[in-house]
Amino acid sequence: KNEVEQSPQNLTAQEGEFITINCSYSVGISALHWLQQHPGGGIVSLFMLSSGKKKHGRLIATINIQEKHSSLHITASHPRDSAVYICAVLPSHEKLTFGTGTRLTIIP
């Protein structure tokens, strides 16, 4: 079983819909990262969380340390949000463990 599980693996939605991507992990962590991988392959860091909630524009990330769960929300989704979203956790000693990603497609 992977230490980091993301759901869903694939998500297709209409433009304007509210999007939720989930990340569950099985180990104690000191931080969790959300990353975005564009269709061209580049990877961008969206958020780093150790507790609570962060917001950047239309993106919101939350984490519940007790439940070992994090969610990434996108409000008013747009076709340019189409990408693979990756969750990564930091259990210890600078070694990140990554989920397999959620492929999001927003249809105009």
Partner 1 sequence: NAGVTQTPKFQVLKTGQSMTLQCAQDMNHEYMSWYRQDPGMGLRLIHYSVGAGITDQGEVPNGYNVSRSTTEDFPLRLLSAAPSQTSVYFCASSSYRALSSYNSPLHFGNGTRLTVT
Nearest distance, CB of residue 77 and partner 1, angstroms: 23
Neighbours of 83 (CB within 10 A): 22
ω before 8 within 30° of 0 (cis)?
yes
Nearest distance, CB of residue 95 and partner 1, angstroms: 6
Residues that bind partner 1 (CB under 8 A): 2, 4, 30-31, 33, 35, 41-45, 48, 50, 86, 88, 90, 94-101
Nearest distance, CB of residue 35 and partner 1, angstroms: 7
